Amino acid sequence: MRMMVAGMGESSARRLHEMAGTLIEPDRIVKGLKAAESEITRDAPDLLAVYLGRSPGKRLAGIRRLLALFPALQVVALVDTEHPELVKMISAAGCMDMVVLADCPSDLQRALRALQERDVTDAVDGEAIALLGAKGGVGTTTIACNLADAIVTQAPEKRVALVDLNFYMGDVALLLDITPQPTTLTFLSRAAQADAKTWTESPPLHRRNFRVFGLDGDLESAAPVTAEQVVFLIERLRVWYDFVILDCGSDISEASLAACTTADRRLLVVTEQLSARLGARRRVQALRILDPQRRSTQAIINRCHDTSPEQLQRMEQSVGVTIAATLTNAWREVTTALERGRTLIEDAPRADITADFGRLAESFVGVGHQEDRRKKAFFDFFR
């Protein structure tokens, strides 16, 4: 573990490195957080120890900015004295731990050992599935919620997470009638802090046995979300969940595009309306430009009236991508389930649209799909 030190004189920083002993590998010493940013970009240390000094609020604001750019970075705050309000501020800024200099070297070594012993048991190599709407109102959130339920139904032994990334209009928690605490924003800002138990047990568990990372609708005090934070969030979710369903909403934003280009599979939700088809084409073009790996996008046709081969071929030509699934037009069943805060499997288990979701889920958890993932992992290993 390489530790960079910021905010201290060189002699004090070197003494700190010495007190850490063999628990760390000494890294650069920088005067302040602005200098740390360029050094972290170049050197990528595992840990940054920051002395808060007499202006902790200013330094903690700087730490917030750093973690927005480098969400995988672990930060330890160095303080002269400890008091409850400062502890709250340090935790809220995203720091992993706090070290009281007067109690060193024992307190420093305690913090370093705690970082090294963080639990990584039961980790999995999960699959992230991003859903992006061609425009508002095409049913992206409804599909995300019911897809999560359908996957759990198909594979009850798998761990499934449903994540709301539609920061300004997200209503996954509202649709499912749950309290979204902690929220997606909590994990975005403190992803490096969270241990295995926090990732797997803190998000509310829906009665259908999938975890929900929701939003509470209050973004007035939230810092802007960066692409780096979204990418790191998805990477961490893959560690703890077999399937991660990402509701990206319909806006083309830094967050939604980061999620779509990071996910293992991306699905564009579209309807037969002309406005939805035009919106789908714009999003397909944006993803093709921004995705360096040129991975394919597939479409889900929601509220589908005509599933004839000729009509589906026309839809593919109009949208510009292949169709992964069609969902039956079932306004009554969907509306009734929404009003009751229930999923379609709960409210209309025998409906045609529920069967549609079952077939879509089977394409993710079926034997053939798992074999494809094993082949991909094999060739990635030898690439």
pTM: 0.86
What digits encode the pLDDT tens for the residues 202-218?
A: 999 999 999 999 998 76
CB 237 within 8 A of CB 264: no
Look over the chain and give the mean of its residue pLDDT values, rounded to a whole number: 90
Which CATH code, of 3.30.420.40, 1.10.10.10, 3.40.50.300, 3.80.10.10, is assigned to 127-381? 3.40.50.300
The pLDDT, as a whole number, for residue 221 is 54
User: Strand order of the sheet with strand 322-328?
Assistant: 211-213, 160-164, 243-247, 127-133, 265-270, 297-304, 322-328
Tell me the C-alpha to C-alpha distance, in Å, between residue 133 and each of 15, 166, 359: 54, 11, 20
Which of 315, 318, 245 minimizes the C-alpha distance to 281?
318
Which residue reads 């589906």 in tokens? 312
- Report the C-alpha gap between 212 and 180 in whole angstroms: 7
Q: What is the pLDDT tens value at each position of the chain, 383 positions in all?
A: 899 999 999 999 999 999 999 999 999 999 989 999 999 999 889 999 999 998 899 999 999 999 999 999 999 999 999 899 999 999 889 899 999 999 999 999 999 998 888 755 567 889 999 999 999 999 999 999 999 999 999 999 999 999 999 987 889 999 999 999 999 999 998 888 888 889 999 999 999 999 999 998 766 556 688 999 999 999 999 999 999 999 999 999 999 999 999 999 999 999 999 999 999 999 999 888 887 666 789 999 999 999 999 999 999 999 999 999 999 999 999 999 999 999 999 999 999 999 999 999 999 997 545 555 544 444 444 43
160 vs 242: CA distance, rounded Å? 6
Give the whole-angstrom CA distance, residue 230 versus residue 72.
11
Whether 2-116 shares its CATH topology with 127-381 is answered yes
In tens, the pLDDT along 34-59 reads 999 999 999 889 999 999 998 899 99
Burial of 378 (0-12, 13-18, 19+ CB in 10 A): exposed
The number of CA neighbours under 13 Å toward the Cβ of 2 is: 11
Q: Provide the residue ranges of all domains of the chain, joining segments of one domain with +.
A: 2-116, 127-381
Look-up: residue for tokens 């359908």? 150
Determine whether domain 2-116 maps to CATH 3.40.430.10: no
Is the distance from CB of 252 to CB of 283 less than 8 angstroms? yes
- Identify whether the C-beta of residue 70 lies closer than 8 Å to the C-beta of residue 40: yes
Neighbours of 134 (CB within 10 A): 27
